[in-house]
Structure 1
Amino acid sequence: MTIDVLGIDLAKNVFQLHGVDRKGHPVFRRRVMRDQLLSVLAGIEPCTIAIEACTGAFCWARKFEALGHKVKIVSPQYVKPFVRRQKNDNNDAEAICTAVRQPHIPLVPKKTVEQQDVQALHRARQRMVNHRTAVVSQIRGLLLDRGIAFGKSITRARRMIPEILANPDNELTAMAREAIGELWDLFCDLDRRIAIFDAKIAAVFKSSAVCQRIARIKGVGPKTATAIVAAVGDGAEFKNGRHMAAWLGLVPRQHSSGDRQIMMGISKRGSQHLRSLLVHGARAVVRTAGTRNDPMNQWVTQLQERRGFNRATVAVANKNARIIWAVLRTGEPYRPAA
């Protein structure tokens, strides 16, 4: 029995294994517990192991590779079309095995422990930012219910809320003032925690030469640089810059048939966090392009005049994604056009 590809349906406790030979014929099926998985794989000759991208996938990939196996990680959206009949663990493992053997299925970039650490910083910080936004929205709603309104800006909230709480002449009762004051204390605590994460991300940026090379690109700062490196590493999983931009969801979505080519809005596939960082950075580039005369900014200005601010922003984000891929793959610093 020679296993060419072994598909594993990852789970918390029970794992389903499905192996096929070079012709795609099933030659191995087994259901194992979590504490038995590594010992079972250690007894199998080195082969290609296919798993879905899910919680714990990168950790298992490192353990499988330590046993001498080659690991391929595929996105669940590409596995689902190959699930036959009913959905169960055996059919899922078979679908994973079938999907990874297709030549056109893109793979998910593997991550090191260091990359996952940086990604954890970004995800934890984003959770704090989301909580802060929710708290400000609730405070604004409570105040609006009492006839007190102010703008949506976080900066304006920091200035206005303490003034409103300190003003004894407004329509806030003692109970409402106390409740909003507690929410304001929570907001300040979230601000403090976000600042801690910002400092940690800044320290990662300063210690990484790769991140500093990427940050020389207009519209890319420390947070974007560290998040990109944490997500894609050296970009080896992508054939070119366009593939990386497509993976980030920054290319048009097609709805075409025959000779009728319809290009729609961007696909918004992939990581929303990475795409947001690139788009926010690109928005700053477009907003300040009119004040500079270098070739890049002239191109941005002309594009904005033809296609509008939002399309120009996405185009700059797409361009930056391609430049980032080139910097990662070549190892050379970014050299803007003179």
Structure 2
Amino acid sequence: MTVDTLGIDIAKNVFQLHGANRNGKPVLKRRVMGDQLIEVLTQIEPCTVVLEACTGAFYWARKFELIGHQVKIISPQYAKPFVRRQKNDGNDAEAICTAARQPHIPLVPKKSIEQQDIQALHRARQRMVNHRTAVVSQIRGLLLDRGFAMAKSITRARRLIPDVLADLDNELTPMARDAIAELYDLFRDLDRRISDFDKKIDRVFRQSQTCQRIARIKGVGPKTATAIVAAIGDGAEFKNGRHLAAWVGLVPKQHSSVNKTVLMGISKRGNQHLRSLLVHGARAVVRTALNKSDPHNQWVNQLRERRGYNRATVAVANKNARITWAVLRTGGPNRGAF
């Protein structure tokens, strides 16, 4: 029994294996418990192990590579079309194995422990930001219910909410004032926690030469640079910069047939957090380009006049993604737009 490609449907405790030979014929079907998985794979000659990108995939990829296997990680959306008949662990593992044998299936970039650590910082910070937004929205709603209108701005919330709470002559009852004060304390605590995460991300940025090279691109700061390195490493999984931009979701969706080409809005595929950071950075570039006359800003201004503010912003984000890939792959300084 020679296994050429081994698809594994991973879970918390139970793992389904499906192995195929060079001709695609199934030669191994087995259900394995988690504490036996490494022992079972040690008994199989080195082959290509394929996993779906999900929780635990990068951990197991590192473990399998240590015992001599080559590991590929694919997106679940590419394995789903190959699921035959009913959905179960066996069919899922077979679909993963079949999908990996297709020459056109793109791979998910593997992550090291350091990359996952940086990604954990970003995800935890984003969770705090989401909580803070929810708390401010609730405070705004409670105040609006009492006749106090407040604009949608974190900065204005920091300035106006203490004034409303301190004014004892307004129409807030003691009970409502106490409730809003508690929410405002939670808001301030989240502010502090977000600031702590910002400091940790800045520390990672200062310790990484790669991040500092990426940050020389206009519209890319410490948070975007560290998020890029955490998401794609050295960019080796991408053939060129355009593939990276498409993976992030900065290219139009296409709905074309025969000679009729229809381009729609941006696809929004890939890493949502990374795309958001690139677009926010590009928005700053477009906003500040009006009073500048260097070639890059002239291009931005012409694009803005021709296509509008939002399209120009996405175009700048797309270009920054491509330049970032070039910087990562060449390992040298950016020769593009500064």
Runs of at least 4 residues off by over 4 Å? none
| Aligned: 1:169 with 2:169 | yes
1:63-78 aligned within 5 A: 63-78=63-78
Identity over aligned pairs, percent: 78
Note the C-alpha offset of 1:170.
1.2
Q: Which residue of 2 aligns with 1:158?
A: 158
In 2: Cα distance, 1:21 partner to 1:260 partner: 42
- Mapped to 1, the partners of 2:256 and 2:49 lie a distance apart of 35
Q: What is aligned with 2:46?
A: 46
Counterpart secondary structure, 2:265? strand
Could you say what secondary structure the match of 1:290 adopts? coil
Normalization by structure 1: what TM-score? Answer: 0.99
**What is the 5 A alignment of 1:182-221?**
182-221=182-221
> What is the CA–CA distance in structure 1 between the aligned matches of 2:261 and 2:159, rounded to whole Å?
51
Task: Name the residue aligned to 1:145.
Answer: 145
Is 1:4 matched up with 2:7? Answer: no
From the superposition, tell whether residues 219 and 174 of structure 1 become closer, same or farther in structure 2 (CA, over 3 Å). same
One-letter amino acid of the counterpart of residue 128, structure 1: M
Deviation at 1:246, TM superposition (A): 0.2
Structure-2 residue corresponding to 1:122: 122
Q: Is the counterpart of residue 87 in structure 1 residue 95 in structure 2? A: no
One-letter amino acid of the counterpart of residue 19, structure 1: G
Secondary structure of 1:149's aligned partner: coil
Give the Cα separation in 2 of the matches to 1:314 and 1:336. Answer: 18
Quick one: distance in 2 between partners of 1:73 and 1:28? 20
The residue that corresponds to 1:21 in the other structure is 21
Unaligned runs of 5+ in 2: none
Q: Which amino acid aligns with 1:193?
A: R
Alignment of 1:204-283 (within 5 A): 204-283=204-283
8 Å Cα contact 2:218-2:337 kept in structure 1: no
Q: Distance in 1 between matches of 2:55 and 2:337?
A: 42
Aligned residue in 2 for 1:55: 55
TM-aligned CA deviation for residue 336 of structure 1: 3.8
In the alignment, the residues of structure 2 paired with residue 103 and residue 337 of structure 1 have an alpha-carbon distance, to the nearest angstrom, of 35
Name the CA distance, whole Å, in 1 between partners of 2:30 and 2:266.
42
Amino acid of the structure 2 residue aligned with 1:264: M
C-alpha distance in 1 between matches for 2:150 and 2:75: 44
Give the Cα–Cα distance (whole angstroms) in 2 for the partners of residues 56 and 250 of structure 1.
27
* Alpha carbons 2:214, 2:334 under 8 Å: kept: yes
Aligned mates of 2:102, 2:337 — CA distance in 1: 40
Amino acid at match of 2:320: N
CA distance in 1, matches of 2:32, 2:303: 57
Structure 1 residue matching 2:268: 3-state secondary structure = coil
- Counterpart of 2:312 in structure 1 is 312
CA contact (8 A) 2:7 2:94 kept: yes
Q: Deviations over 1:96-133 (max 9, x none)?
A: 00001100000000000000000000000000000000
* Partner-residue secondary structure (3-state), 1:291: coil
CA shift, 1:334, in A, is 1.1
Instruction: Find the counterpart in structure 2 of residue 284 from structure 1.
Output: 284
* Distance in 1 of aligned mates of 2:10 and 2:237: 22
What TM-score results when the alignment is normalised by the length of structure 2? Answer: 0.99
Q: Following TM superposition, by how much is the alpha carbon of 1:335 offset from its aligned partner in structure 2, in angstroms?
A: 2.5
The aligned amino acid for 2:153 is: S
For residue 337 of structure 1, report the CA deviation from its aligned partner.
5.6
The residue type equivalent to 1:92 in the other structure is D
CA–CA distance in structure 2, aligned partners of residues 334 and 153 of structure 1: 35
Q: Structure 1: which amino acid aligns with 2:225?
A: A
Contact 2:245 / 2:318 at 8 angstroms: preserved in 1?
Answer: yes
SS at match of 1:319: helix
Gaps of 5+ in 1: none
2-structure distance, mates of 1:37, 1:148: 60
Deviations 1:132-159 (A, max 9, x none): 0000000000000000011111000000
Deviations 1:220-266 (CA, angstroms, capped at 9, x unpaired):
00000000000000000000000000000000100011111101110
Task: Write the distance in 2 (CA, Å) between the matches of 1:295 and 1:161.
Answer: 45
Asked if structure 1 preserves the Cα contact closer than 8 Å seen for 2:217 and 2:337, the reply is no
Provide Cα deviations, 1:11-43, integer angstroms capped at 9, x if missing partner: 111100000000000001100100000000000
- Distance apart, 1:85 and its partner CA: 0.3
Find the aligned partners of 1:17 and 1:86 in 2 and give their Cα distance: 17
Matched residue count:
338
